[in-house]
Amino acid sequence: MPVYREQMEESEAAALAPFAQHTAASAGRRHPEPDHPYRTSYQRDRSRIIHSKAFRRLEYKTQVFLNGTGDHLRTRLTHTIEVASVSRTIACALGANEDLAETIALAHDLGHSPFGHTGEEKLNELMAAHGGFEHNQQSLRVVELLESVYPDFDGLNLSYEVLEGIRKHDNGYARPACGNNPEEHFPCPSIEAQIANIADEITYYSHDLDDGLDHALIKEEQLADIILWKKCAEFVDSHYASIEGKRRRAYIVRTLIDHQVADLVSTTSTRIDKSGVNSADELRRLPNPLVDYSNTLRDANRQLRKFLYQNLYYHENVATPNAHGAKIISEMFTRYENDPGLIGGQSATRIETQGLHRTICDYISGMTDRYILKEHERLFANPQ
């Protein structure tokens, strides 16, 4: 016998915590659609994101190291999948909605430009007089406007709660009226959005550290005073004294993630109990997010973050190719300003409604590293 959507929603009602976002209580979509017989709303949203062009392009976008510089280094796509996995783990442990947390995680980087954060900074600079550029806001543009696969509307028409989670750096969250609930402005997003946000942090610091060590830009001796690394290394060495080299390092990184997740779940559970929240909206009305680390781990994470900025993110072997990428973005932007006819396909049709500069920004931010390099070579190989 098939399992129908209604049965899945009934299972949620029995299994999820009262403060979780239940699918049946969703505020819905901007463009109403019939329910699917075998999938919940958030499961449908997950599929729409995975099948989108923007998601596929993440495979060839830089995480930290320029795409193509190493077969085992993270890309924006592998990072996204890792965030989704950690999000599901945390959501399950807290009794939150795993499908929603995973879906938000899968969408969180759809708007990232080529060449990582260096590319984002360059686009923001180029767009300073035209509204700026920020990858979370761009992710919203991707799912609400730029993806065009449905006959009756632009975008993916995702559920409100997924959009709420993507909009993670906004000040407040305005939910449209739904059912008997009027429109309301919340200080915080859902617990699932909070989970995806912090899972992103857990994942990229741990795995950027792993990639830095694997690429020999960081040596383990430099980590001797980093509290988190030292604690996890001591645990691995005391339990698995026979392993060494890459296998040992991989297990230390795994332990590092497990340690952060365990601390987060324990701390957040205590904070939830103290808050007394009994519904998803009560949690949204709190002045500050509930999902967080302990004070001790937050301080240790801050130390690790500082180390990575000093020793990896600004390392010459990372900064130099990314700076070259930023120069390419700047030159391409100017070229499109001077000759909008070079803007390809459907993107060009948005100039009238979105303006030239925003259209250029959308066009460039959607490019992969390898595509913009190829286009730059094509346009500048034979300068007139």
* Average model confidence (pLDDT) across the chain: 93
Domain boundaries, the chain: 5-19+28-319
Instruction: Please check whether residue 275 is in contact with residue 238, taking contact to mean a CB–CB distance below 8 angstroms.
Output: no
Q: Which of 182, 98, 100, 112 is nearest to 141 (CA)?
A: 112
Q: Mean pLDDT over residues 205-213, rounded?
A: 91
Measured CA to CA, the distance from residue 43 to residue 23 in angstroms comes to: 10
pLDDT on residue 182:
84
- Helix/strand/coil (H, E, C) string of 95-106? CCCHHHHHHHHH
Name the superfamily (CATH) of residues 5-19+28-319. Answer: Hypothetical protein af1432 (1.10.3210.10)
Q: Mean pLDDT over residues 336-353, rounded?
A: 93
% of the chain at pLDDT higher than 90: 82
pLDDT on residue 71:
53
Q: Which residue has the higher pLDDT, 286 or 1?
A: 286
Measured CA to CA, the distance from residue 36 to residue 16 in angstroms comes to: 21
